[in-house]
Structure 1
């Protein structure tokens, strides 16, 4: 039988060895100073925890080829395309070879569009110190440009767009001769003038109802790129005082216009079915017929404008008749409901057929001088339950208006918008002896 070595030693040695062994165990189990400051963490499934990594900063640098090479400063040449110039002619004028032209226009779909140049287009050519074409820029409009850039062995194209900023602008005027002249002098564009006529066109006949002393004010967006104005945006709010009655329109988020109460500006019928220049004859139940010389009812309104001017459907409906006779010439009758019918006479040509459905503002024909007339014009009639009514003054049915929560929210929004318009108007009134511009 073998006896353990420890027992063969003297008792004092056994005690010392036991004490040393115990001390070593304690030292091995004692926590290190590195962990003493971090309490034990319990991790939960489904949560994200930060992971501390110690990485050499060199490892965080992008790999070669990850970054696009910077384009060195270029020498620029600009060219405005003239009538009759092709891209080949332009390249030749700026000193580029046919081979460069071929490689560029065949690089991708974007570069191919460069071949369709128009007079007035502008091109910017960027050359390096070796007179090699590095970049070509074609501005498409105030915000967008086609940018073509050379790489090692080819070209590639991309579209670059500048940010557009919007700011509020304002205009107002008193009319002394015509709405168009007053609006033009007040700084509004032709598109804005027509848009205002469209907004209020269901309540005001801009051919017959405009009077000296009428006023209007408009709050609109100005579009800016890099601080420079590039055009006008939406009309946000407007007022028009006509014959002592003030109409108000505010643009909602859906792009439609309502008054301050949420009633739609749009009506079921246009007040005038034509973009007129002037009106030759108003509604008159008794008048001398210009051809026969007899007293006869004139059951509508005559609008004189250039031959070929589009004529619009006053409202949604179905074409009852689209035909011709020696009295009416080319004519179109539209039934809008069991109550309303509109008639359009003396047209050069008709654009719709009997039984066809039409929408408000859709072209139904063009102005002319067919039938019994003394000159080209549109004769327009408006019937309610079979009775002729004056198109200028007949009460038009309302289109859909806002209601409920939608109406409440809009009324609050309209109040804020009108406060902006009135602020501008008051500022002008306080700083000018006259209300805006007079013309």
Structure 2
């Protein structure tokens, strides 16, 4: 049996065979070259290579000139180094720690009290009491009104020397420390400019709503009703379409309004007849075109019977001990505790409060330029905003506040300033006196022309 030929797998084939042949030829070529080169030629080729040795050049050293020794002053440490800082003297320490005069403006917020404000700025409670003592004759610091400002000024000992409050653009009040202790009242007044204008309307529905649509305030509507209600029934007599005209005045200081609009003249035409009221500037009362009074007269006494005057009105009174001004802006009546106190005129209650020194008190804004005040009451029988009539019982006298015994302190103010209620000229007459009639008639003519002006436009 014939065996097939087997290929030798260990022999290189293909690319491997060619690579082996090339390497073999290269090795043979090197062997032939080495045999043909002499040793001398090899040495020459070696010397032709770069020299790897480095020759060092000797360095010549030059000795520099020795420097001069430093000046001893240059060796001293800089000023302040190593020295202890000099402590400030006792005088300097006292000067630095001493309080400086300051001015603080505090805007009143809801919930503020005078006591809390004084504590906030570090003023002693006794200072507050001294201020309130001076305020009892004026009662202008309380009650506090949100949005108003109190201004405090101190000296170099941080003691309060002045507290002021702006009542309105025309009036700022202040309590200033007196040389003999305590505080005294001061006023800063600016002149008021007055402007007149008219408002017109016609009745549609009720007179109140018609007047409000014409731009009148609640207070002015009430004033008109009080003036004419004795001659005109506002519910039954007035009809739709009845015209009415009102002359008002408004005060301002440098363009800033002072107070509210005030009625000077009014007329309502009902069934062809005019019902009119005009202000007499001399006494603050309203009269008709014939000069007959439309305002009830004021009572001279705030009680049903006369009582002894225990302390009279004296705006220039001086304190017997301190020597500082201590005015008495009212009249004290020796009333037993519980005596009925009467309203001396028609008006609206503007304030009921309790003061540390004035005790329980009432303020009433009467028609026109008059207002009244009653202090040291044991019981208040009216509320703020309530309308009262002349002769109405409004309180019971007592001894609240700082007093030595029960009595009634009664004040009368004209245009915001206290006057002697026992001697002041008050509206008690029922018609304008002949001596004042000429000026009154001129004012009526001027107001009538203003109210007629709407018919010309």
TM-score, structure 2 as length reference: 0.40
Relative contact order (alpha carbons < 8 A, sep ≥ 6): 1 or 2 greater? 1
Q: TM-score, length-normalised on structure 1?
A: 0.42
